[in-house]
Amino acid sequence: MKIKTGIGIDVHRLEEGLELWLGGIKVEHEKGCVAHSDGDVLIHAICDALLGAAGMRDIGYHFPDTSDTFKGIDSKILLRKTVELIREKGFEIGNIDSVICMQRPKLKSLIPQMQSCLAGILGIEKEEISVKATTTEKLGFEGREEGVSAYATVLIYKAGMA
């Protein structure tokens, strides 16, 4: 079995009056992400981690923010396409560990919904997806509520490989 790991990170500025999407779900908040797509930092970090683990560059290479094709796109579509890309290379997803850094709103109660959404797209069990949320204790751009960041690590594998 061939096992590979990857790491991904995404950051977006927050602005009033925009929708906030995290982990594939809409989060009620007065601010949302300024982005070419819907700005779902968690999904973008997971896409980068999966693509990196498979040796397939990054999300911007596959889904450039200079393309009108991806303007305003639902990030769940990007995640589905990413899963298709890595599966075409023979990889399956073992597990995902991730964290969202944001001062407000508190996300703890939304994590099970995010896990279910992501599991449905990724085709893995909800228990294989860890989503954590943390504040930065009012430090940095996240703490000042100017932006949000997300980090993800993944394990992918090819069965039958040495």
90 is in an annotated binding site: no
136 is in an annotated binding site: yes
135 is in an annotated binding site: yes
**What DSSP assignment string belongs to 109-145?**
GGHHHHHHHHHHHHTS-GGGEEEEEE--TT-HHHHTT
154 is in an annotated binding site: no
66 is in an annotated binding site: no
58 is in an annotated binding site: yes
Q: Say whether 161 sits in a helix, a strand or coil.
A: coil
144 is in an annotated binding site: yes
In the structure encoding, which two tokens stand for residue 26, read together?
């809409």
60 is in an annotated binding site: yes
36 is in an annotated binding site: yes
86 is in an annotated binding site: no
69 is in an annotated binding site: no
Partners of 7 in the β-ladder: 153
Owner of token pair 């790491």? 7
37 is in an annotated binding site: yes
- Read off φ and ψ for residue 145, nearest 5 degrees: 60, 35
44 is in an annotated binding site: yes
Orientation angle between helical segments 75-88 and 41-53, nearest 10 degrees: 10
**What are the binding residues?**
10-12, 36-37, 44, 58-60, 134-137, 141, 144
Annotated binding site for a divalent metal cation: 10, 12, 44
